[in-house]
Amino acid sequence: MAQSQYVPANVRELLGTAPLHEGEDPQQYQALLSEIARTVKPADVMEWLWVKDIVDLTWDILRYRWLKMSWIQRNKLGSPNLSTNRYFAGGMSEFDATTSAFASLNLIEQMQASAELRRNNALNEIEARRASLGQALRQASDQVIDAEAKPALAKAS
């Protein structure tokens, strides 16, 4: 059975559309959903909703990681050579622009932390309902995040 076919058609309909934007690969998302669903074998619609939550939040965490990396590269935040003299067209010094870029980076960090917290909350909900499902789900989701789901994000970049 193909990975994307693991989710039954009637459940797929209930779960709604995948929250992806143009540059992201729906097949990668479906593969992630199928992989996690296959591991935990959700027993009813409630468990399917939580599995979908975990998948969406795992995808969000990866997306924020990618955003963070792109933001650092774009704003050259890795470079130690900051000048207080050079001014950009908007009248902002390079130092001010860098400070502002760091503030935005902090926002991305906060959103990622919030997604991780919500993912953990979803896992706790599941663990409270069904201990074995929660443990398998945590393991599957952790494995995916550790592996960085490279193909999906490489396509976006």
Partner 1 sequence: MASSRRLAASNQRNAQRSTGPRSRQGKARASRNAWRHGLAACATWTGPLAPDLERLTDAIAGPNPDSCRRHFANIAAEAEFELRRVRAARLTLIAPLTANLVETKDRDADADRPAPSAILKSLARLDRYERRATSRRNRALRLL
Q: Which residues bind partner 1 (CB under 8 A)?
A: 13-14, 16, 19-23, 44-46, 49, 53, 56, 63, 67, 70-71, 74, 88-89, 100-101, 103-104, 107-108, 110-111, 114, 118, 121-122, 125, 128, 156-157
Please name the residues in contact with 81: beta carbons below 8 A apart, sequence gap of 6 or more: none
Alpha-carbon span 145 to 129, nearest angstrom: 24
To the nearest whole angstrom, how small is the minimum distance from the Cβ of residue 107 to partner 1? 5
Give 76 or 143: the residue with its C-beta nearer to partner 1: 76
Give 35 or 125: the residue with its C-beta nearer to partner 1: 125
Give 20 or 145: the residue with its C-beta nearer to partner 1: 20
Give 1 or 89: the residue with its C-beta nearer to partner 1: 89
Give 108 or 133: the residue with its C-beta nearer to partner 1: 108
To the nearest whole angstrom, how small is the minimum distance from the Cβ of residue 5 to partner 1? 20
Alpha-carbon span 138 to 31, nearest angstrom: 17
Alpha-carbon span 56 to 62, nearest angstrom: 10
To the nearest whole angstrom, how small is the minimum distance from the Cβ of residue 140 to partner 1? 20
CB 36 within 8 A of CB 133: no
Nearest to 123 by CA among 136, 111, 112, 113: 136
To the nearest whole angstrom, how small is the minimum distance from the Cβ of residue 60 to partner 1? 9
Alpha-carbon span 74 to 65, nearest angstrom: 14
Nearest to 53 by CA among 11, 21, 19: 19
Query: Look-up: residue for tokens 């890795």?
Result: 78
